[in-house]
Amino acid sequence: MTTETPVPQARRGGRLLDGKLLVGTAVVGALVVLSLFTGVYDVFGADDGGEMFAITRVPRTVALVLAGAAMAMSGLVMQLLTQNRFVEPTTTGTTEWAGLGLLTVMVLVPGASIGARMLGAVLAAFVGTMVFFLFLRRVTLRSSLVVPIIGIMLGAVVSAVSTFVALQTDMLQNLGVWFAGSFTSVLRGQYELLWIVALAAVAVFVAADRFTVAGLGEEVATNVGLDYGRVVLLGTGLIAVATGVVTVVVGNLPFLGLIVPNVVSMFRGDDLRGNLPWVCLLGVGTVTVCDLIGRVVIMPFEVPVSLILGVVGAAVFVLLLLRQRRHG
Amino acid sequence: MITLSGVRKEYSGEVAIGPVDLRIPRGGVTALVGPNGAGKSTLLTMTGRLLGLDAGVIEIAGHDVARTPSKDLAKVVSVLRQENHFVTRLTVRQLVAFGRFPHSRGRLTAADEEVVSRAIDFLDLGGLENRYLDQLSGGQRQRAYVAMVLSQETEYVLLDEPLNNLDMRHSAQMMRHLRRVAEELERTVVVVLHDINFAGHYADRICAVKDGAVVEFGTPEEIMTGEVLTRVFETPVTVVDGPRGPLAVYY
Amino acid sequence: MAETTASRVTGPLPAPPARSSGALPTGRARRRYRTVVAVLGVLAAGFGFGLLAWDNPMPVGSDGFWRIAQMRGTNLVVMAVVAICQAVATVGFQTVTGNRVITPSIMGFEALYVAVQTTAVYFLGVAGVVAVQGLPQFALQLVLMVGFAMLLYGWLLSGRYANLQVMLLIGIVIGGGLASVSTFMQRLLTPSEFDVLAARLFGNVSNADASYLPLAVPLCLGAAVLLWAGSRRLDVVALGRDASTGLGLDHRRETMRVLFLVSVLMAVSTALVGPMTFLGFLVATLAYQFTGAHAHRYVFPVAVLTCFVVLSGAYFVMRNVFYANGVVSIIIELVGGLVFLFVILRKGRL
């Protein structure tokens, strides 16, 4: 795990910017720089080193930063809206819906532009997230742990549909390649749309408090004068945009949105405003570290970041569950 | 007789309950009262072996609840918690019939059916016995659960806040049923109650619990005094003579 | 025990006394149950015979007819085994977890199966698929799956903080981690290797080898009969932990026992034909509707019959109407998945 994890401190730190955050930023910054200079190609020695650096390394690193921050924030928004710690795009089927949207566009419009594919993925992710929220509002749950169980099953339903479509159109192995999140193929000219998620991240910063209130339920939200429906739509929209875009450009980043907000609140308590920059930072840091590991373990080949995240994320998730079990 | 000796229950390091020593004699209705979080329900659920103890011994009619096989204990004591959720859709009669499980292991004999019928009639549920639980009102459903523990035909009956969510009429009705259970069926009823006046009127003995310890145990006459109740509930209580016995006034 | 004295509520539904606590208290309920069982029985027999005899080029009754029927018979036995496994396991699992919208197959059994198959192809190439076939390999997969499940239950369901839902979620998440490893290995396969593997990754009755049956049939029957024999205890377990403890049932032991049998059934089904995620869910949901009773001894047979009818019916229709044998399980998954969506959106409580 990254080293910028803060020591426990008194809750309600007050100011957004403090010494620890600066240290954290510096550590993540160092990781990002390290990512820029990691790779088989010698960007200093070779003649076209500078150009290669601009074509592959810079886009890749920018994509790491954007995707890490966006997915961590999506997880946070989902957890705020549902008031459930175990909810994130992978445990609600959102990722699978995005994949289905992507696949549908690929099948219907062979050779569709990356923009069109994104649109399909974002729309499907939006529909899927709404289905899940709708379900959550309709049922009274006895345990918060049932929610991710149902969400994962929902994801299984959607990926069964995707598999069926892919099988019929001979795209099954491609499907696996798309879903496995990897930054290998992020090159100049293919990743620029990822900047959209930066906008989504900013929107989360602005609207975070509203998501918390909406998470307390429609009555509470209306009572304090908040348009519940609009906030939920906004939140779902942001999640869908982030998940959809990241799925198309990078692929699936499992458990990122789950472990990052949980680890942050484990160390800092549930101070939302103060936690937001940390969620961003830790999201970026985690993805960068996983990507670095993936790039160096079997050099010159690469292990996709989704594999490392899937394994590490599953382990952290299990630890979180065991912790929750102890605390009732 | 129910005997608790040196009973303790710990929650995450801090002692929450105990050590508690208590003897509840056979027969009659014993009410457990006390402030929220005092440990009444915990004591009751430990007595009904739904919750393990960290130290001490609880005996019911000579059976150590931690050592006696659960299925033998189920013929001595029955216990009802306040929350009962399950997914199966049952009729009143099917629910009540589960009370015979300790005796019949699920294969109902004619004698079992007879006991089930009596329990249903005893709680005036005869007309409702083929209705599904989700078609009943809260008070009717609560009676159905009580009928189930009655059909278990145990000497000791433990009930955790049976008046929860019941209105005045149904609360009074439930307490009258419980009195009849003690008097006509000669069972020993132990019940957690929230309203001290219900305890004062319907119980034979009152056990006051505070901060995880038993602070008072005695007849309603002994407990229903302003001085005792003020101490137990930590709020000024005056006891006045009402038309049907002492009344605690705390507002 | 007094259980031998008077009219037992078992066997062929005896006429009960006027006030009965039986699972099927009224004459109407009993007639309905009998009708359901009869209709399902006829359908099962019809599809079963259809699969054996339909499109059989030999005249009915000739030697050749029987030889072809025998080959198809193996498939039919496999279907019966899968039907028993999936139906009984799902109903039992839903009862001990107190939740009717989950299926035991998400507990990592499928992820483990996929991982084993993928690893074999990854290291051994196309030959890997053959390498994991055979009775010893089948037995080894069973041991792996049941062992994994027992480790999980033993670890998470004993001790002070035992919590069933944490156990479920951890099972699912470990399965997810395993799945990402499999996905990675699948990426590195050549397309031809992948094609060979892909055929094994979907539940398909023809994945099963007749040589597995001598092991699969006794295991499946044994576990199912044990669960069926404990029907009355399962009825009590369904009331929840507190109520069943109050009635003198050792709830934890019963839960462990059921989960163990469920893991045996799921392991047999998965190792035999591959993943079938929503088949169990589909048939359990249908069975509760059809039966109209809570008692497990009535639900189990209806669930098994329904499962067989769904499986054999799907194969019959796909084989003889659409000529698409390979996609049967995917169709069932789709239908099951849609029913799942419908149920969770319609249900008011979990």
Residues of chain C contacting residue B113, judged by C-beta atoms under 8 Å apart: 17, 19-21
Nearest C-alpha in A relative to C156: A322
Cβ of C240 and B84 within 8 Å? yes
Query: Residue C8: is its pLDDT beyond 60?
Result: no
Out of C21, C239, C246, the one facing B74 most closely (by C-beta) is: C246
Cβ of C327 and A86 within 8 Å? no
Cβ of C245 and B70 within 8 Å? yes
Cβ of A145 and C348 within 8 Å? no
- Scanning chain C, the segments in alpha helix (DSSP H) are 27-53, 63-97, 109-124, 127-131, 135-156, 164-187, 191-201, 213-229, 231-237, 241-246, 251-273, 279-291, 296-320, 328-346
Nearest C-alpha in B relative to C160: B52
Work out the burial of residue B99: count CB atoms within 10 Å of its CB; fewer than 13 is exposed, 13-18 middle, 19 or more buried: buried
Q: Which two tokens stand for residue C22?
A: 């039986």
Residue C165 in contact with partner chain A when CB distance is under 8 A:
yes
Cβ of C334 and A167 within 8 Å? no
Cβ of C23 and B111 within 8 Å? no
Return the axis-axis angle of helices C296-320 and C213-229, rounded to nearest 10°: 150
Contact of B107 with C8, CB cutoff 8 Å? yes
Out of C6, C246, C250, the one facing B78 most closely (by C-beta) is: C246
C2 to chain B, closest Cα gap in Å: 6
Residues 52-71 of A with CB under 8 A from C: none
Work out the burial of residue B54: count CB atoms within 10 Å of its CB; fewer than 13 is exposed, 13-18 middle, 19 or more buried: middle
Contact of B33 with B40, CB cutoff 8 Å? yes
Nearest C-alpha in B relative to C20: B113
User: Which residue did the predictor score with more confidence, A2 or C294?
Assistant: C294
Residue labelled with tokens 């809206």: A81
Cβ of B86 and C246 within 8 Å? no
Query: Residue A17: is its pLDDT beyond 60?
Result: no
Contact of C289 with C296, CB cutoff 8 Å? no
Collect the ranges in chain B with pLDDT lower than 50: none
Residues of chain C contacting residue A254, judged by C-beta atoms under 8 Å apart: 176, 180
Q: Which two tokens stand for residue C217?
A: 């049939």
In this prediction, residue C4 carries a pLDDT of 41
Q: How confident is the model at residue C305 (pLDDT cuts 50, 70, 90)?
A: very high
Cβ of B105 and C1 within 8 Å? yes
Q: How many Cβ atoms from other residues are within 10 Å of residue C79's Cβ? A: 24
| A–C CB contacts, 8 A cutoff, strictly below | 141
Nearest C-alpha in A relative to C347: A139
Q: Dihedral (C-alpha) C46, C52, C58, C61: value to the nearest 10 degrees?
A: -70
Contact of A151 with C168, CB cutoff 8 Å? no
Contact of A252 with A180, CB cutoff 8 Å? yes
Residue B49 in contact with partner chain C when CB distance is under 8 A:
yes
Condensed to tens digits (0 to 9), the pLDDT of residues A111-133 reads: 777 778 888 888 888 888 888 88
Given a contact as 3+ CB pairs under 8 Å, which chains touch C? A, B
Query: Residue A279: is its pLDDT beyond 60?
Result: yes
Nearest C-alpha in C relative to A327: C161
Cβ of B98 and C23 within 8 Å? no
Could you give the CA distance from residue C195 to residue A173 in angstroms, rounded to a whole number? Answer: 9
Q: How confident is the model at residue C84 (pLDDT cuts 50, 70, 90)?
A: very high
Q: Which two tokens stand for residue C170?
A: 């951890």
In this prediction, residue A179 carries a pLDDT of 65
Q: Is B28 helix (H, G, I), strand (E, B) or coil?
A: coil
* pTM (2 d.p.): 0.83
In this prediction, residue A178 carries a pLDDT of 67
C166 to chain A, closest Cα gap in Å: 6
Angle at alpha carbon of residue C74, lines to C71 and C75, rounded to 5°: 100
Given a contact as 3+ CB pairs under 8 Å, which chains touch A? C
In this prediction, residue C189 carries a pLDDT of 80
Could you give the CA distance from residue B103 to residue B108 in angstroms, rounded to a whole number? Answer: 9
Query: Residue C13: is its pLDDT beyond 60?
Result: no
Q: State the greatest distance between any 2 C-alpha atoms of chain C, in Å, as a whole number.
A: 70
Residue A310 in contact with partner chain C when CB distance is under 8 A:
yes
C40 to chain A, closest Cα gap in Å: 27
Could you give the CA distance from residue B34 to residue B205 in angstroms, rounded to a whole number? Answer: 14
Cβ of C294 and B90 within 8 Å? yes
- Strand (E) or helix (H) holding B43: helix B40-47
Residues of chain B contacting residue C294, judged by C-beta atoms under 8 Å apart: 88-90, 94
Cβ of C106 and A134 within 8 Å? no
Cβ of A157 and C278 within 8 Å? yes
Residue labelled with tokens 């998730």: A317
Condensed to tens digits (0 to 9), the pLDDT of residues C250-298 reads: 888 888 899 889 989 998 888 888 888 888 888 998 888 888 778 888 8
ipTM above 0.85, yes or no: no
Condensed to tens digits (0 to 9), the pLDDT of residues C162-189 reads: 677 778 888 888 888 888 888 888 877 8
In Å, how far from its chain's centre is CA C120?
Answer: 25
What is the spatial order of strands in the sheet that B55-60 belongs to? B14-24, B2-11, B55-60, B63-64
Q: Where are the domains of chain A?
A: 19-326
Q: How confident is the model at residue A253 (pLDDT cuts 50, 70, 90)?
A: confident
N residues, chain C: 350
Q: Does domain A19-326 have CATH number 1.10.3470.10?
A: yes
Query: Residue C9: is its pLDDT beyond 80?
Result: no
Query: Residue C161: is its pLDDT beyond 90?
Result: no
In this prediction, residue B211 carries a pLDDT of 84
